Structure 1
């Protein structure tokens, strides 16, 4: 099954919430970043809330993130222009009158799940589409760790990757559940106007060696396993893998994987990833798991960056798709439509 070349899209949805930083990264000092090709500066006002403004002084092309925060204002380190949380210039050191209309863009901000979400599209739509809740990231019933970096690949390549986990067994056999080494059961896909949910039930199989060691499961013990995934928004994926251990043996062992992705610009994506589990609590277990998952995600980053290099050099080809790509193809359709709807 090939996707017609003329159906490829360019651009990314703007009317969406994107995670520009972890909450712990934003404090009283300016935090400069980029999203959808625009410079953004984040800082905390005196009440602790996060402010997001355009990261460019209205006076001259100098980043506000190289300035300083004073109370509820951010002050340019070059001109001394001071901007409030709405982006309006409220003080100019060289004169009493503030130039008429002097301001920088301001953006709606919300914090959810330990992440700072910023709306870069039409401001009036932000309240109608709140960020998707991710309660497991802060729920005491789940232990969470993760990381973040920029990937030199377009966000669409990351979306394709998240939608199909059958690659895991090829990319990293160590982390892969043994179930993935067999023929994949049919993927059940449910779609709405803006989301894609999918799942499939895998036959009984052992858990990876590292998981068996951490939980005292017999290496040859086999359990049914279930995969679930969801494209929840242009900037958010949430997936899970459940090993259905009977209650008398400790109960189901569940991993939840959260991926917040933001197009920094064409061909570059900010990726904030989190791994949550409902079993084997404690920092010692996390210290074992962190390098295993970080190694896998770094391998994926390298692969996606190689794909982007091929595309940059040779252009898009007519990809051959298989049954496991059913969810990815639906996500592509949604993204194309969202971009088209924005005109």
Structure 2
């Protein structure tokens, strides 16, 4: 189902990560973007291509076809399409029907993700793709995975904007400082299309797993700092830093960066590619401790968000009780709503 303008909070004029770079090769790859079937592949020169995954002649997926040079051919109709979506070959005649084409999506590849622009192609150059350079920096050790969540992207954004839920959902993984009492207020900064927020916590203990990977005593206390950013409708980034002091060469800011690439595949389904980066404890042993723990946590998040979506589908939305922890949520919702209204001409 296509993502229509009515009753949605999904901006089309935005960059969305439809795949990781390593997934896209010389074999057609089927994905979904904003309710559209899309097919990805690489040209002989290595450039990533994103096309509508439906032949213009018959409703068959191009992803079931084959590549010949830089062009993709339907495995049923034999129609061939160039990387820009133009039909370049019809097996039953010499001339290609006038105007025969499939939609081609603007593409940006950064070495980690293949980003596709979901809206008006002419506007893609006005909004630079998100920066994720830390995911490719040797100064950071990164792991991650991907999952499909049967919930709207708005529910995922709301979740990332308020980490106070972590202590309720998974007390073992949550920073103990979140359970020490009301957290400090968020300092929120808003631009036309982004929201960033931060807060500084007084010295507190670390979770046992956190002290273990930092090789610090579990009873020691450290100041901690939270940062979050709604970078774009397709990217959310969180940072959590432990400020170590008095431990010699281990002193400094030890930071996790949580990267969430969110791609609405339909109105109520979201592809979630997550990455966790750190500038400390780069060993494989530390990754072996962290990866299954974070994977299990994000699986719990997915289950709760899918419950929320099921309730919304069954009972509809209701007025919600707001708290001070919703400061960032409120601003993100406002920006997304304005983006959608600008696209639909309702403002």
1:197 alignment partner in structure 2: 196
Q: CA deviation at 1:11?
A: 4.0
Residue 60 of structure 1 corresponds to which residue in structure 2?
58
The TM-score normalised by the length of structure 2 is 0.95
CA distance in 1, matches of 2:111, 2:242: 25
Which shifted more, 127-136 or 220-229? 127-136
User: Contact (CA 8 Å) 1:152, 1:305: kept in 2 or not?
Assistant: yes
Residue matched to 2:19: 21
2:95: which partner in 1?
97
Secondary structure at the aligned position of 2:336 is classed as helix
SS at match of 1:107: coil
Write out per-residue CA displacement over residues 128-180 of structure 1, whole angstroms, 9 at most, x where no aligned residue: 21112111100000000011111000000001001000000110111111111
Structure 1 stretches lacking a partner, 5+ long = 1-7
Change (3 A) 1:218 1:24: same
**1:45 Cα deviation from its structure 2 partner:** 0.4
How many pairs are equivalent? 336
8 Å Cα contact 1:13/1:339 also seen in 2: yes
* 8 A contact 2:9–2:336 mirrored in 1: no
Counterpart of 1:4?
none
- Rounded Cα–Cα distance in structure 1 between residues aligned with 2:132 and 2:172: 28
Aligned equivalents of 2:195, 2:319: Cα separation in 1? 23
Q: Are the equivalent residues in 2 in contact too, given 1:110–1:117 (CA < 8 A)? A: yes
Aligned mates of 2:19, 2:310 — CA distance in 1: 26
- Residue of structure 2 in register with 1:248 after alignment: 248
The TM-score normalised by the length of structure 1 is 0.96
Contact 1:45 1:72 in 2 (8 A): yes
Displacement of 1:218 in angstroms is 0.2
- Name the structure 2 match of 1:214: 213
1:234 aligned residue: 233
Bigger mean CA deviation after superposition, 246-255 or 189-198: 246-255
Q: CA deviation at 1:215?
A: 2.5
Displacement of 1:125 in angstroms is 1.1
Distance in structure 1 (CA, Å) of the matches to 2:306 and 2:130? 28
Asked if structure 2 preserves the Cα contact closer than 8 Å seen for 1:187 and 1:326, the reply is yes
2:156 aligns with 158
- Displacement, 1:96? 1.0
Determine the structure 2 residue equivalent to 1:140. 138
Over aligned residues, Cα RMSD in angstroms? 1.2
Unaligned stretches of 5+ residues in structure 2: 1-5
Work out the CA distance in 1 between the residues paired with 2:26 and 2:284. 29
Q: Equivalent residue of 1:217, what SS?
A: coil
* DSSP-derived class of the 2:341 partner: helix
| SS of the residue 2:244 aligns to | coil
